Amino acid sequence: MSQLIVKGGSRLEGEAGIQGAKNSVLPILAATLLTAGQVELRGCPRLRDVDASVRILKGLGCTARWEGEDTLAVDARSLSGCAVSEALMREMRSSAIFLGAILARCGQAELSYPGGCELGPRPIDLHLSGLRALGAEIDDAGGVLHCKAPRLQGRKIVLSLPSVGATENLMLAACGASGVTTIAGAAQEPEIVDLQDFLTACGANVTGAGTSTVSVEGGRPLHGCTYTIMPDRIVAATYLCAAASAGGEVFLRRAREEHLSTVTAVLREAGCSIRAGEEGIACTSRERPAVVRPVRTAPYPGFPTDAQAILMAALLKCRGAAVFEENMFENRYRHVGELGRMGAKIQVSGRTAVVTGVERLHGATVRCTDLRGGAALCVAALAAEGETEISETSHIARGYEDIARDLRALGAEAFWREH
């Protein structure tokens, strides 16, 4: 397994392109199962989770191949199976998104419960209750989901929580249902809009994504298309926080501020100068971060839980104290102990973490606790004196194509070391 080495203490200066969005491409890959033709996904990031999705597609009988650096061609016309192995399901939480698409295409499905980062309970009860409302029969005895849905029927479904995964799963299942499905209380993330845009490009009639009510007219035949994945807003947030942490000036090509305005608002409050345009986002940081108002994670358009650890790392040297309140997942502070090894002062009590800014951080040997916690360690290491050695980096590879490459493009000293 590779270790990531980051040498801190130097200001950043440079530019990097933002990869396609992990949380967008995974449901879109599941959506390819609904199409009768080849789909060409451009701007597709090369990630562990994407590789796992490709193996799921191939296991179901589809063909998938890379064409060039960032284009993935998928053809689901040869689909021959409706079961996903337990090994593949355990690799990532997002594997549950295949359930709705397989049911819509095959009328039956067999999957085990998904895996992924250990961030606390993330039940798929909303997925299952919504699919049952559309007419699916689901038996989950023994940890395996045995699903049958010879005929799905559109109807109104009200989600008790704005679950991103449930919203996406129901959108996909609804494409194969008769009539119109209305999803009330839907998640509003930009990735939901991207899924709608992809389905529309394939011939579906989906409206309302980005609002709390999504409508899907089912039963329309879907064809292949060429589609470009939106840029990853959490990767963009990571590199903006890197500039805030280390200081300097960076430019992020393709980054869209409208997707991460809650993050840029906090960084501006901390003293960063941020300029956004059609080509991307520029960020300049010239001094230690200022104190910011309490940061509370919430469903979109609130502050994203995926950016909480990353912003916390950027504020470790703030001039005062920063307060974080985590309202989405109960185990989102697992990175705090590792940041403490670098000299950070953080106190956690339940859902709240208080960061007391320090004047100096030092390099240390740390390990990734989860995907975004690993990215936070990189952000903190840029502001630390000396060398930081980060292990268990397979977590980072789930969401970042090559974080060392990108940090080098921004002027940092970062490289992989095999051991």
Give the active site residues.
Answer: 117
Cα–Cα distance measured from residue 396 to residue 401, given in angstroms and rounded to the nearest whole number: 9
Whether the CB-CB separation of 364 and 341 falls below 8 Å is answered with yes
Are 34 and 203 in contact by the 8 Å Cβ rule? The answer is no
Secondary structure (H, E, C), 208-277: CECECEEEEECCCCECCCEEECCECHHHHHHHHHHHHHHCEEEEEECCCHHHCHHHHHHHHHCCCEEEEC
One-letter amino acid of 193: V
Are 388 and 8 spatial neighbours (Cβ–Cβ below 8 Å)? yes
The sign one gets for the Cα dihedral 276, 49, 134, 197 is positive
Rg of the chain's alpha carbons, rounded to an integer? 21
Name the strand (E) or helix (H) holding 16: strand 12-17
- Other C-beta atoms closer than 10 Å to the C-beta of 141 total 7
d(CA 112, CA 145): 6
- Strand (E) or helix (H) holding 365: strand 365-367
Please provide residue 172's backbone torsions phi and psi, each rounded to the nearest 5 degrees.
-70, -45
Reading the block at residue 165, the tokens are 């995964």
Residue 18, token pair as written in the block: 């933002």
Buried b / exposed e across 31-40, counting CB within 10 Å, b at 16+? bbbbbebbbb
The two three-digit tokens of residue 361, written as one number: 């951080």
